[in-house]
Chains A and B, each alone.
Chain A
Amino acid sequence: MATTRSKTGIFVIGITFALCISASAQETKLPDAQQLHSYSVSRESFLLGTVVKFESASSTLPMGAHLVLQTSSGPIDVHLGDAKVLRAGHLELNPGDSVRIVGEPLALGDSTYFAARIVQKGAQAVAVRNTRGFLTTPASLMSPADKEALRGVR
């Protein structure tokens, strides 16, 4: 799949979502949690599915936004990071939405969860982690003009 990345960190997808849903979700057996305490872009896979539930501040760990995604392999909990990034990217997630998630399993303690790096809904996508796996901030979605305006901050 061809993707291009804008300077603001918003990903614009060049082909239709229909192509995405022809693939099956890559979610399979999770690797040993001992090996998953850091993010490696080489391990990335993607999930395709339907949003069952979205919470901007879930009680499920780790802290942050989560969604439950219904995939062909069953429901999967996905960590989306800082909900303010999704809001800044104007990406709303509601039950029934078809989405594509790029990311990988990460360990938290001795358990694992699916850590999203890119959340895509239709032609819109938002990077919620950078390529090293660290959570992005709303500032990453600001335009150069918006950033320039920050020079007025006291």
Chain B
Amino acid sequence: MKRLLLMLTAGAALWSAACGGGNGIAVPPPPVGKYTLANLNGQYAFVTNGESFTGVNAVALARTGSFTADGMGNITTGIEDVNAAGAPSLALQISGGNYTVNADGRGTLTLNVVSGGVASPINFGITLTSSNDGLMIDETSTSAQSSTGSGNFIKQNSGSFAIASIAGPYVFDFSGQDGFSPSGPESIVGEFTASGGPITTGVEDVNDNGVFTTAAAVSGSFSADGVNLSTLPGFGRGIAQLNGVQYAFYIVDASRVRLLNISGGAMLSGDAVAQSNTAPANVSSISSSFVFIVAGSSGNGGITRVGRFTANGATVTNVLVDTNNSGQFIKTNTTNNTSISLDAANLGRGTITFTDPNFAAAPFKFVFYLSSATQGVIQETTTNGNNAVDVADGSIAAQTGSPFTSSNITGTYALNWSGLSLQNNGSFSVHDEEDLLSQVVVTSLGLSGAADIFQFQNGVPVFDLVTSGAITISGDGTSSTASNRNTMSVKLVKSNSTTVNFVVYFVNPQLAFFANNQDSHRTVAGILKAQQ
């Protein structure tokens, strides 16, 4: 889940108290479900994006790596690359570790990472969404390191651990911080075609700290790491060059490669996803509703936008957007000045525009790259007075499977959000990173389950909060009617409780994007994903 980009009156003290144990501490019921240790078995490529504190300052942190689980609770091997505020640590060995999986798919993952010759653990909360993938949050709180962040892991196919496997067209989205000082936010979306090493063609759109580069050429290559040759056959790891910037990459399979910037002082990461021949070549072939979510930074602070539109050829209707601009909530319902177009020269690349009548001087603009008829990445390009209003990107997906009702929004789901919230570590109140990972059972649109949360100013995560809530669906659930929104509330209880309210857009019955639409001290966004 792309971060981002993103007020809890109950601050850190609430959660600190909650993990203290003793009377009055709510405890989730015993987990129920089908998962066991055996469901995490094999090699998995993982990513997280968040924050780290090592004694000087809290800094942005991104990592990409590979771990091997034995299906019996042990991590046997692995490797990771880390980028902390532009300072990379390459090919760190994972010497071992362990994991747990509860029946509901929730569990823990500990990776013993060797750095400077010393092994030290990093800890994660995990929720399996299948035997092939899952969501995770960083819950490391040791004497050596405190870090948080959200991410995911996907099973790797070792048969694809060769440069020759990276072949054909791919769509990518990298986001994070640029390499300048002081650094600024950066987003790069685009597509390239690889051919057994070299990138033969490509195009990208960049928003670097508010400076746009549009439809620029992409060149580069994928190769084995000359310093760590064995990491390619062992972990699918290698080194990529994209427009002069170096990335560590991990092959999931021929359809997906995960990349982390390791040069130039920048901190960018993201996935490249194979583009299928179903990506539309002409706007006349588009006839679908789409849901999108972007997160990032505006001049006000963190920003999230989640919304939907219907495209029928070049006609765009039923545009709804919910914005949280650093605590300011804006509902957009518009049919004004809408348009969508595809780039004839670059398959899958397109733009969409529309205008919120309340913000006529800053009409919404986005560029997107579709990897198929139903999936893609999207970057906001809205300007006001020739300056970018934000740096934000994320996902776009065709909306299918409606009407959404209690009949098909049902079963077990993993739930993850990330962003900023009000936290108070003693006398210092501050807005800091918040990551939550949960598993919920959805029955009659009611939620019940358990969650972990890490409000970073606290320094320690809080485990096993009792989670409940409700989803409300308006109309057929596509929110195609202006003024109607689907909503979701999530109540978290330990020794105290708080409720976070969201607007939610269903992509299909198995997936939804959401962002909080109340509480001006919080800017978070996330996904609800069905367990398989």
- Spell out A's residues near B (CB within 8 Å): 7-9, 34-40, 55-57, 59, 61-65, 79, 81-84, 87-88, 106, 108-110, 115, 127, 129-130, 132-142, 146-154
Residues on A with C-beta less than 8 A from B299 are: 37-39, 106, 115, 129, 133-135
Quote the shortest CB–CB distance from A65 to chain B (angstroms). Answer: 8
| Interface contact A62-B54, CB-CB below 8 Å | no
Q: A130-B184, A142-B59 are in contact. Are A57 and B429 (CB under 8 A)?
A: yes
How would residues 132 to 159 of chain B score, 1 for a CB under 8 Å from any chain A CB and 0 otherwise?
0000000010001101000000000000
* Cross-interface CB contact of A134 among B113, B297, B429, B523, cutoff 8 Å: B297
- Give me 5 A-to-B residue pairs in the complex whose CB atoms sit less than 8 angstroms apart, sorted by A's number: A38-B389, A132-B388, A134-B209, A150-B85, A154-B120
Closest to B185 in A: A134
Interface size for B (C-beta < 8 A) is: 72
Q: A38-B384, A108-B326 are in contact. Are A142 and B361 (CB under 8 A)?
A: no
Q: How many A-B residue pairs have CB under 8 A?
A: 197
Residues on A with C-beta less than 8 A from B122 are: 154
A76 to B100, CA, bound (A): 54
- Spell out B's residues near A (CB within 8 Å): 7, 52, 54, 56-61, 63, 80, 82, 84-89, 92, 113, 115-116, 120, 122, 140, 144-145, 147, 177, 181-185, 209-211, 297-302, 325-328, 330, 358-362, 383-385, 387-389, 391, 420, 422-424, 428-432, 520-521, 523
Residues on A with C-beta less than 8 A from B358 are: 110
| Interface contact B521-A57, CB-CB below 8 Å | yes
| Interface contact B422-A57, CB-CB below 8 Å | yes
Q: Tell which of B59, B181, B211 has the most Cβ of chain A within 10 Å.
A: B181
| Interface contact B432-A84, CB-CB below 8 Å | yes
Q: A34-B361, A139-B60 are in contact. Are A132 and B428 (CB under 8 A)?
A: no
Residues on A with C-beta less than 8 A from B54 are: 149-150, 152-153
Closest to A138 in B: B57
Quote the shortest CB–CB distance from A134 to chain B (angstroms). Answer: 5
| Interface contact A62-B328, CB-CB below 8 Å | yes
Q: A57-B422, A134-B210 are in contact. Are A88 and B330 (CB under 8 A)?
A: no
Residues on A with C-beta less than 8 A from B89 are: 151-154
* Cross-interface CB contact of A39 among B85, B92, B387, cutoff 8 Å: B387
Residues on A with C-beta less than 8 A from B92 are: 154
The 7 closest A-B pairs by CB, nearest first: A140-B182, A38-B387, A62-B326, A150-B87, A37-B384, A57-B429, A62-B300
Closest to A140 in B: B182
A4 to B115, CA, bound (A): 38
Closest to A110 in B: B358
| Interface contact B57-A84, CB-CB below 8 Å | yes
A120 to B54, CA, bound (A): 28
A148 to B265, CA, bound (A): 11
| Interface contact B145-A109, CB-CB below 8 Å | no
Q: A34-B360, A108-B300, A132-B209 are in contact. Are A56 and B85 (CB under 8 A)?
A: no
| Interface contact B385-A40, CB-CB below 8 Å | yes
A142 to B59, CA, bound (A): 10
Q: A108-B300, A152-B116, A154-B115 are in contact. Are A139 and B183 (CB under 8 A)?
A: yes
| Interface contact A130-B384, CB-CB below 8 Å | no
| Interface contact B428-A109, CB-CB below 8 Å | no
A135 to B209, CA, bound (A): 10
Residues on B with C-beta less than 8 A from A110 are: 358
Quote the shortest CB–CB distance from B422 to chain A (angstroms). Answer: 5
Quote the shortest CB–CB distance from B7 to chain A (angstroms). Answer: 7
* Cross-interface CB contact of A64 among B56, B80, B326, cutoff 8 Å: B326
Since A56-B430, A150-B54 are in contact, a sample of 15 more A-B pairs with Cβ atoms closer than 8 Å, ordered by chain A residue number, is A38-B384, A39-B299, A61-B328, A63-B302, A63-B422, A63-B431, A64-B431, A79-B300, A83-B428, A133-B387, A147-B87, A154-B63, A154-B82, A154-B89, A154-B115
| Interface contact B61-A153, CB-CB below 8 Å | yes
* Cross-interface CB contact of B388 among A38, A59, A84, A151, cutoff 8 Å: A38
Residues on B with C-beta less than 8 A from A141 are: 57
| Interface contact A61-B210, CB-CB below 8 Å | no
| Interface contact A64-B301, CB-CB below 8 Å | yes
Quote the shortest CB–CB distance from B385 to chain A (angstroms). Answer: 6
| Interface contact A151-B520, CB-CB below 8 Å | no
Closest to B55 in A: A149
Closest to A145 in B: B56
Q: A106-B299, A138-B59, A151-B87 are in contact. Are A56 and B429 (CB under 8 A)?
A: yes
| Interface contact B113-A154, CB-CB below 8 Å | yes
| Interface contact A133-B520, CB-CB below 8 Å | no
Residues on B with C-beta less than 8 A from A152 are: 54, 89, 115-116
Residues on A with C-beta less than 8 A from B56 are: 142, 146, 149
